[in-house]
Amino acid sequence: MNAPAEPAAPNAALEIGGIDPRNLRPLPPVRASSADEVTRAVRTAREAQPKWQELAFADRARLLELAAKRLLAERDEGLAIVRREVGKTPADALFTEALGPLDALKGWRKVIEQAPVGSVSLSPLAFPKKSARIELVPRGVVGIIAPWNFPVAGLYRSVFPALLLGNAIVVKPSERSPRSSGWFLRILSEVLPPGTVNVVFGDGSVGQALLAEDIDACVFTGSSKVGEAVERVCFERGIACSAEMGGNDAAIVLADADLARTTAGIVQWALQNAGQACGAVEVVYADSRIAEQLVARLTDACRRLKRPTPAEGIGSYAPLAFQAQLDKVLGQLGEARARGAVVETGGAADGLFLPPTVLSGCTPDMDIVREETFGPVIPVVSVDGPAEAVRHVNAGKYGLTASLWTKDVQRAQRLAERLEVGVVTVNNHAFTGAIPELPWSGRRASGRGIANSAWSLPVFARPKAIVVDNSEAPEPFWVPYDSDLEELGHLLAEAQLGKLTRAYKIPLLLRKRVKAVKAFFGMA
Helices (H), 339-482: 367-370, 386-394, 409-418
Query: CB–CB of 406/412 below 8 Å?
Result: yes
- pLDDT (tens digit per residue) in 328-383: 999 999 999 999 999 999 999 999 999 999 999 999 999 999 999 999 999 999 99
Burial of 60 (0-12, 13-18, 19+ CB in 10 A): buried
Report the run of H or E that residue 440 belongs to, with start and end. Answer: strand 440-441
Q: How far apart are CA 360 and CA 381, in angstroms?
A: 7
What would the mean pLDDT of 187-191 be, rounded to a whole number?
A: 98
Give the HSE-up count for residue 166: Cα atoms under 13 Å, Cβ half-sphere: 17
- pLDDT (tens digit per residue) in 204-262: 999 999 999 999 999 999 888 899 999 999 999 999 999 998 899 999 999 999 999 99
Q: Could you tell me if residue 374 is left (phi over 0), alpha (psi between -120 and 50 degrees) or otherwise beta?
A: left
458: phi then psi, degrees, rounded to nearest 5: -60, -20
Question: Is the pLDDT assigned to residue 278 strictly greater than 80?
Answer: yes
The amino acid present at 160, given as its one-letter code, is F
- 3-class SS of residue 522: coil
Q: What is the pLDDT of residue 11?
A: 52
Q: How far apart are CA 30 and CA 65, in angstroms?
A: 29
Question: Is the pLDDT assigned to residue 195 strictly greater than 50?
Answer: yes
* Catalytic positions, written as ranges: 244, 278
Q: What is the pLDDT of residue 204?
A: 93
- pLDDT (tens digit per residue) in 408-462: 999 999 999 999 999 999 999 999 989 999 989 988 988 888 989 999 999 999 9
What is the DSSP track for 68-132? HHHHHHTHHHHHHHHHHHH---HHHHIIIIIS-HHHHHHHHHHHHHTSS-EEE---TTTSTTEEE
Q: How far apart are CA 444 and CA 222, in angstroms?
A: 15
| E-state strands within 232-327 | 240-244, 249-253, 281-287
CA-CA-CA-CA torsion sign (202, 206, 211, 216): negative
Cβ-proximal residues to 470 (8 Å cutoff; 6+ apart), any chain: 129, 130, 131
Domains by residue range for the chain, with CATH: 35-245+454-464 (3.40.605.10), 249-437 (3.40.309.10), 475-521 (no CATH)
Q: How far apart are CA 273 and CA 88, in angstroms?
A: 6
SS (H, E, C) 451-516: ECCHHHHHHCEEEEEEEEECCCCCCCCCCCCCHHHHHHHHHHHHHHCCCCCCCCHHHHHHHHHHHH
Q: What DSSP state is assigned to residue 168?
A: E
Question: What is this structure's pTM?
Answer: 0.92
